[in-house]
Structure 1
Amino acid sequence: MHGSAASEDDVHSGAPGDEDSPLRILVVEDDEGDALLVREHLQDGGLAHETVWVRTVDDALLHLDADCVLLDLGLPDAMGLSALQRVLEAGAPPVVVLTGLTDTDAGVEAVAAGAQDFLAKGDVDPDLLARAVRYAVQRRRLEDTGRALYRSLVRAAETTRLERALLPTPAVTDTRMEVRVGYRAGRDGLLGGDFYDVVERPDGTVLAMVGDVCGHGPDEAALGATLRTAWRTLVLAGIPADEILGLLERVLAAERARPEIFTTVSMLAVLPDRRTADLYLAGHPVPLLLGSPSVLLPSGRRGRALGVPVGGGWPAQRLDLGPSWRVLLYTDGLLEATVGDGSQRLGKAGLLDVAHRTMLGTAETDGAVRPDEDPVLGRMLSAVRARHGGDLVDDAAVVLIGCDA
């Protein structure tokens, strides 16, 4: 072996990191005799491997697609810990220092600097070298697994925080009111920009809403959580219902990442008599009035979506609901569920049918009702999934609010 070009053993199967394949070992050693001895030790140690030999750190940086690096600390272009630091800073796999230096302090310093192990050439035998390589690779794999687990735990904690912000507990004390809420994340399992809330004011007015930030992802989820919190704050502050959406739009404009992001909202303000309500629509699908038959609520006074730069506000549609009623507010993830061969959407007619059958207890579900879900809305979401044939592509939030005087 001459020069700095890499030279490999005859074993070439498997990919780096695959536990069932030979280990790919990068030997960084300027002495040809020592490099040959290392290869023989690895072979005699019974370690399934392939080696790449280079003489300098510069060449080593070109061959870091390995499972382990055996590194000498006395090289033509780097001496001592500087060689180790250069290799580690370049993102090297686990490094075992294999050097002629026998200073104990040098070994401690090398391990402290990031090496997995420190071996003196004069003390190495086949079994010791093979064992050091195996342990170094296994420790790195365990470290990588630990980091992946930590990231997963952090992500789960972040999701939980978003869930608390996006999916609050309704704040209603009137025992005459029926309030149910439900949420299903889309196919990727991550929360999106759908949000909901239900709050009762001191004067007895109950406000319910669902909203949907355009797009899907962490930014939209964070914005949805912000808007949901802002909505509850406005309600608790006693802001008149007909002013809430305008103020919510100001929050949207201040918090959105891009000016083209908009949000749709459906809001119902149930008056203290529990027979009358005002409906506000900001570019959102019309709620359903459940019954026999279930129908869409009147939508003659629709308003624009929040954040869309056109004129017009959000006029109230006064509703006379009567003594006994149920209203379903929802986001468009339910309407966009595909049915049949996938060329058609469930749409409002399909959702009306699913909702009506759910209330009658005759809806066909896919059986996927989680224990933590509201049983009624869980069955409704499960029935939509059954017609869709699996997880919904988009998020779906639903609020069922009613009164039986």
Structure 2
Amino acid sequence: METGPARRISSSVAASMAAGSVDRDEATELVPNPTQRAEILLIEDDPQDAFLVEELLAETELDAQITWAATLAEAREALPEFRGCVLLDMNLPDARGRELLNDVLTTAKNAVVVVLTGLDDEHEGIQAVAAGAQDYLVKGQVDGPLLARSMRYAVERQRADEQARQLREAELHARENMRLERGLLPQVLLDRSRFVCHSFYRPGRKRALVGGDFYDAVHRDGTTHIIIGDVSGHGPDEAALGVSMRIAWRALVMGGVTEAALIPALEEILVSERGQQEMYATLCQVSVDDGSDRLRVRLFGHPPPLMTGPAIGMTHPGAVPNEITELRTDPHPPLGTLPPHDLPQYPEAAEHHFPAGSALLLYTDGLLDAHDGSADRPRIGLDGLRQLVKTTSTAGSPVAELPKVVVDAAEQRNGGPLQDDVAMLLITDRTNP
């Protein structure tokens, strides 16, 4: 008979054993093929019952590798890493019943548990299955094929349960994704505005969950207000904060809060709603009055919007977009980066001429971080983006598809999906198609 901390049952079983353990590299999961190796951890205090289990399995084609532990204490070392089938006697010297089963189920998270009960304790087996065991067997009523089949089916049931659980989680994840996306990327309120908004969003390859990029556009009291922002970091907390900021901004605009007061109020909301002090948001806000050919821009750590369309002085509709202009403003740090008492004076909006036939492109910085395909300039940056927009806008694609065409071109240069999420808004004048 072998000796040591992990011993197989042999034809002469000792009355006691040292604590059992299983080498994870050597262990393999029990599979339905009866000739494949099956790792079994038998937790049984009766040496004769342990020997009987080995003899029963020897009658089958199952290649059973059995490790025996006479007590729960002896099994504890093996349980955390064990990935096979645990045959568990429900009455051990150091534990019994529901408490014993819960301990094993909690510790051996990757294992299948089949309970062994006495003839008079069959009700314990039924309760054990209800509590999380895959199956139960009554001692004295089991032959080899039944034992092997029970373990194989237990493994398959656990796999089916795990697949069903993963499917449910994926469905919940997808629904949560959709709720967050609806909150971050809403239907804009521009029915009475002279402007049309074409939006586009594409998640980065690092994540499946929608990120903290958000946008909105609202027409109120003769003015069209547009916002786009990006909460730092990735994950559901950042997405939830982005949703909060987007909804708060819309509520403030609809409530008649002045442009100058919008951003300070939004920063207060960010600071109060964020889960971590390190979280911040970049922001770009644009406002245009009805009947005006000028627009107002405010930037808070965000890349400047691009104006596409006719060169300055060209006002006819449909002109070739031979100039891409960056609408810059006085710099201001992202929202939430400075303590409230250190906040500088919020800058006045910068005014820019917005010629008829022009279009406005707002975007998040995931686009700027794309690789431009050259060794000396690893990022597209603003210059590369301006050239990319100019090239794609003259390719003959419909205006509404420009954001998607730009992102597709950036990904082509990048050699694959972008690292970060990208949200884009293309604002065009419906009176000058």
1:81 Cα deviation after fit = 4.6
Name the structure 1 match of 2:87: 70
| Aligned equivalents of 1:301, 1:72: Cα separation in 2 | 74
Q: 5+ residue gaps in structure 1?
A: 364-373
Structural mapping, 1:2-401, within 5 Å: 2=14, 3-5=16-18, 15-16=28-29, 22-64=37-79, 65-91=82-108, 93-174=111-192, 176-188=194-206, 189-201=208-220, 203-291=221-309, 292-309=321-338, 310-341=343-374, 344-361=378-395, 375-401=401-427
1:320 Cα deviation after fit = 2.2
1:236 Cα deviation after fit = 1.0
* Contact kept in structure 2, 1:331 and 1:398, CA below 8 Å: yes
| Aligned equivalents of 2:300, 2:419: Cα separation in 1 | 23
Scaled by the length of structure 2, the TM-score of the pair is 0.83
| Aligned equivalents of 2:266, 2:197: Cα separation in 1 | 23
| Aligned equivalents of 2:234, 2:369: Cα separation in 1 | 14
* Contact kept in structure 2, 1:13 and 1:22, CA below 8 Å: no
Cα deviation 1:304-352 (Å, max 9, x = unaligned): 3222324121311122212221011111111111122465210111111
Residues 248, 106 of structure 1: CA spacing in aligned structure 2 closer, same or farther, 3 A cutoff?
Answer: closer
* Contact kept in structure 2, 1:30 and 1:56, CA below 8 Å: yes
State the one-letter code of the partner of 1:191: V
* Contact kept in structure 1, 2:362 and 2:425, CA below 8 Å: yes
Residues 219, 40 of structure 1: CA spacing in aligned structure 2 closer, same or farther, 3 A cutoff?
Answer: same
Aligned-pair Cα RMSD in Å: 2.5
| Aligned equivalents of 1:8, 1:131: Cα separation in 2 | 25
Q: 5+ residue gaps in structure 2?
A: 1-12, 310-320
* Contact kept in structure 1, 2:122 and 2:138, CA below 8 Å: no
* Contact kept in structure 1, 2:125 and 2:136, CA below 8 Å: yes
Name the structure 1 match of 2:317: none
Moved more, 207-216 or 329-338: 207-216
Residues 25, 141 of structure 1: CA spacing in aligned structure 2 closer, same or farther, 3 A cutoff?
Answer: same
| Aligned equivalents of 2:50, 2:306: Cα separation in 1 | 77
Cα deviation 1:164-191 (Å, max 9, x = unaligned): 1111111111474231111111112332
Matched residue SS, 1:122: coil
1:6 Cα deviation after fit = 5.9
State the one-letter code of the partner of 2:92: L
Residues 251, 394 of structure 1: CA spacing in aligned structure 2 closer, same or farther, 3 A cutoff?
Answer: same
Moved more, 102-111 or 251-260: 102-111
1:259 Cα deviation after fit = 2.9
Scaled by the length of structure 1, the TM-score of the pair is 0.89
Residues 178, 4 of structure 1: CA spacing in aligned structure 2 closer, same or farther, 3 A cutoff?
Answer: same
* Contact kept in structure 2, 1:45 and 1:129, CA below 8 Å: no
Residues 351, 137 of structure 1: CA spacing in aligned structure 2 closer, same or farther, 3 A cutoff?
Answer: same
The percent of aligned pairs where both chains have the same amino acid is 39
Aligned length: 392
Residues 48, 307 of structure 1: CA spacing in aligned structure 2 closer, same or farther, 3 A cutoff?
Answer: same
